[in-house]
C-alpha cells in the first residue's frame, strides 16, 4: 500500500489549485449571487484538458486515473463547488459511453466530450423516480430501427448547456428494472427540449434544468448497451459519480476550514487572536481530522474504481462520510467567523449551502446506507 501521490497527481493538483485560486476565486461570489453559468472559466477548463479527464488519449482525453480525477473535483470545490459538479457530471455522462458504447458510438461522441466541445448530461431522475430510480415513467417505443421517446427528466446538471445527453427510459415496462434502456442523444435532436431552470439553495452557478423528450426519435444505433441494460449502466455510473461528489464534499470542507483558519488568526477578542483559545483550537483539530478521514475514504474509493469488480460499498461509504463531514465542517466554519460568517461578506455561508447538496444528489445519505448495508448483509 502506498499513500504517496504520483508525480502526475501532484502536477494535476498544483495546476488545478492555481487555476481555481487565480481564475475561479475572483468570480465565485458573483456567480453564486447571480446564478450565472461561468462560461469563461468553463472555457478555461476546456483549455486545461479537464473535460477529457475520464477518457483515454485515443479519444482525445488525458487518460488519468480516478484518483487524479477526484483530486481535480476536490481542488475545484475548495474554491467553488459549481465548477466541480459541472465537470464531474460531465464525466458521469462520458464514462458510460466509453464502457458500454460501440466503436462507432465512441468515435462519434467521445472526441467532442473529451475536448469539452460537447458537455455531458446524465438524465436519470424524474419527478416520480428519485431514490426509486427504477420507477421510470419516460417511455421509449420501438418502431423498426428507431425508438420514439416521450417523458421528462428533472434536476439535470448541465441540462441547459449540454451537448450530449445520456438518458434512461423504460422501453419494456413489463420487465421492471430490466426494461430500462440507455440512449445517447444529441442536443440538436428536435425532440429534446429544455424546460424549467431550477433556482437552487447552493451550487448556484451550475445549470440545473428539466429535460423534456417530446416524440423524440432516436435511432437504435444510439442505444447504449443492450435493450434492458439501462438500470445497471446507471448504477455503475453512479458508483463512480458518487466518488466525484465525495471529492466535492472534501474540497468544500477544505475551503471552509482554510477560510476559518485565516479568519481566526486575524480576528482579535479580549486582546488576542481568537485562534489562541484552546476551545477554538480543538474545533480546528476536529475539522482537520474529519476532513482527512473523509479524504482517505474518497481516495480509497477512487483507487478501487480503477480495479475490476463492483465497489459500490466503498463509493457509498466515501460519499456518506464526506457529505456529513462537509456539513459539520462548514457549520463550524461559520461558527468560527461569528456574525460576519452569516453574511455574504465571507465565503463560508456559500460553502455551507453548497455542502448540503452533497447529502442529496447522486443518492441521498439514506440511499448510501442502503447500498452499504446491502453489501455488508449480502
Active site residues: 362
Q: Which of 9, 181, 208, 312 binds ligand COS (CB under 6 A)?
A: 312
Q: Does 370 bind ligand COS (CB under 6 A)?
A: yes
Contact call for residue 283 and ligand COS (CB under 6 A): no
Using the rule CB under 6 A, is 210 a contact of ligand COS?
Answer: no
Listed in sequence order, the residues at least 6 apart from 104 whose beta carbon sits closer than 8 Å to its beta carbon are: 221
Regarding 373 and contact with ligand COS (CB under 6 A), the answer is no
Distance of closest approach, residue 296 Cβ to ligand COS, in angstroms: 22
Place of cell 475545484: 76
Can residue 200 be called a binding residue for ligand COS (CB under 6 A)?
Answer: no
The verdict on 177 binding ligand COS (CB under 6 A) reads: yes
Q: Contact between 175 and ligand COS (CB under 6 A)?
A: no
All three cell numbers of 265, joined, read: 488568526
Longest dimension (CA), the chain: 80
44 within 8 A of 100, measured Cβ to Cβ: no
CB of 200 vs ligand COS, minimal distance in Å: 14
- Work out which of 231, 299, 304, 314 binds ligand COS, going by CB under 6 A: 231
Q: Binding to ligand COS by residue 206, rule CB under 6 A?
A: no
What backbone phi and psi angles, to 5 degrees, belong to 217?
-95, 120
CB nearer to ligand COS: pick between 226 and 289: 226
Q: How far is the CB of 89 from ligand COS (least distance, A)?
A: 8
Beta carbon of residue 255, minimum distance to ligand COS (angstroms, whole number): 23
Q: How far is the CB of 126 from ligand COS (least distance, A)?
A: 10
Q: Which is nearer to ligand COS, 299 or 361 (CB)?
A: 361
Q: CA-CA distance, 52 to 209, in Å (whole number)?
A: 23
> Which of 125, 138, 300, 305: binder of ligand COS (CB under 6 A)?
125
Which residue in 310, 344, 345, 373 binds ligand COS (CB under 6 A)? 310
β-strand pairing of 120-123 with 164-170: parallel
Sign (positive/negative) of CA torsion 235, 240, 245, 249?
A: positive
User: Is position 245 an interface residue for ligand COS (rule: CB under 6 A)?
Assistant: no
Scan for cell 455503475, then name that residue: 236
Residue closer to ligand COS by CB (options 310, 344) is 310
Phi-psi region of 217 (alpha: psi -120 to 50; beta: other; left: phi over 0): beta
131 binds ligand COS (CB under 6 A): yes
Q: What does 195-254 look like in DSSP terms, one character per residue? A: EEEP--SS-TTS-EEEEEEEEEEEEGGGEESSTT-HHHHHHHHHHHHHHHHHHHHHHHHH
* Sole window of 21-29, 65-73, 200-208, 234-242 interacting with ligand COS (rule: CB under 6 A): 234-242
Binding map of ligand COS across residues 337-366, x = CB under 6 A, - = no contact:
------------------------xxx---
- The least distance separating ligand COS from the CB of residue 191, rounded to whole angstroms, comes to 22
Query: Is residue 207 within the footprint of ligand COS (CB under 6 A)?
Result: no
- Among 139, 232, 267, 331, the residue binding ligand COS under the rule CB under 6 A is 232
Neighbour count for residue 36 (Cβ, 10 Å): 14
Q: Does 84 contact ligand COS by CB under 6 A?
A: no
Cβ of residue 120: shortest distance to ligand COS, in angstroms? 12
Strand 268-269 relative to strand 223-224, pairing: unpaired
Nearest Cα to Cα of residue 246 among 328, 317, 318, 327: 318
Q: Is residue 239 part of the contact set for ligand COS (CB under 6 A)?
A: yes
Q: Provide the b/e sequence for 243-266 (b: ≥16 CB within 10 Å).
A: bbbbbbbbbbbbbbbebbbebbee
Q: Tell me how far apart the alpha carbons of residues 23 and 255 are, in angstroms, rounded to a whole number.
A: 15
Question: Using an 8 Å Cβ cutoff, are 120 and 90 in contact?
Answer: yes
Residue 194 pairs with which residues in a beta bridge?
Answer: 211
Which residues of this chain interact with ligand COS, rule CB under 6 A? 124-125, 131, 133-134, 177, 231-232, 235-236, 238-239, 310, 312, 361-363, 367, 370-371
Amino acid at each position: 500500500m502506498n499513500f504517496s501521490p504520483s508525480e502526475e497527481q501532484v502536477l494535476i493538483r498544483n495546476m488545478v489549485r492555481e487555476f481555481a485560486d487565480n481564475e475561479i476565486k475572483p468570480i465565485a461570489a458573483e456567480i453564486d449571487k447571480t446564478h450565472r453559468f461561468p462560461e469563461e472559466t468553463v472555457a478555461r477548463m476546456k483549455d486545461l484538458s479537464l473535460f477529457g479527464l475520464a477518457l483515454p488519449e485515443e479519444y482525445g482525453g488525458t487518460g488519468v486515473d480516478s484518483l487524479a480525477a477526484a483530486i481535480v473535483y476536490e481542488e475545484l470545490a475548495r474554491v467553488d463547488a459549481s465548477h466541480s459538479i459541472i465537470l464531474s457530471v460531465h464525466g458521469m455522462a462520458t464514462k458510460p459511453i466509453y464502457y458500454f458504447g460501440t466503436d462507432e458510438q465512441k468515435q462519434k461522441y467521445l472526441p467532442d466530450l473529451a475536448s469539452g466541445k460537447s458537455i455531458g448530461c446524465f438524465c436519470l431522475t424524474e419527478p416520480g423516480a428519485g431514490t426509486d430510480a427504477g420507477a421510470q415513467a419516460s417511455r421509449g417505443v420501438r418502431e423498426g430501427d428507431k425508438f420514439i421517446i416521450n417523458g421528462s427528466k428533472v434536476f439535470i446538471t448541465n441540462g441547459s448547456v449540454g451537448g450530449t445527453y445520456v438518458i434512461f427510459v423504460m422501453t419494456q415496462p413489463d420487465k421492471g428494472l430490466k426494461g430500462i434502456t440507455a440512449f445517447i442523444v444529441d442536443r440538436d435532436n428536435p425532440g429534446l427540449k429544455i424546460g424549467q431552470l431550477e433556482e437552487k439553495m447552493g451550487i448556484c452557478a451550475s445549470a440545473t434544468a428539466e429535460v423534456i423528450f417530446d416524440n423524440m426519435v432516436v435511432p437504435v444505433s444510439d442505444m447504449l448497451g443492450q435493450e434492458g441494460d439501462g438500470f445497471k449502466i446507471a448504477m455503475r455510473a453512479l458508483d463512480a459519480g458518487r466518488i466525484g461528489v465525495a471529492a466535492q464534499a472534501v474540497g468544500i470542507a477544505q475551503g471552509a476550514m482554510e477560510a476559518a483558519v485565516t479568519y481566526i488568526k486575524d480576528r482579535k477578542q479580549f486582546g488576542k487572536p481568537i485562534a489562541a483559545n484552546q476551545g477554538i483550537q480543538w474545533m480546528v483539530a476536529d475539522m482537520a481530522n474529519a476532513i482527512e478521514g473523509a479524504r482517505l475514504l474518497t481516495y480509497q474509493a477512487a483507487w478501487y474504481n480503477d480495479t475490476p469488480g463492483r465497489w459500490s460499498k466503498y463509493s457509498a461509504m466515501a460519499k456518506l462520510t464526506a457529505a456529513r463531514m462537509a456539513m459539520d465542517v462548514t457549520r463550524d466554519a461559520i461558527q468560527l467567523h461569528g456574525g460576519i460568517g452569516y453574511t455574504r461578506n465571507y465565503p463560508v455561508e456559500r460553502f455551507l449551502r453548497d455542502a448540503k447538496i452533497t447529502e442529496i444528489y447522486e443518492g441521498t445519505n439514506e440511499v448510501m446506507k442502503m447500498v452499504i448495508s446491502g453489501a455488508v448483509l449480502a
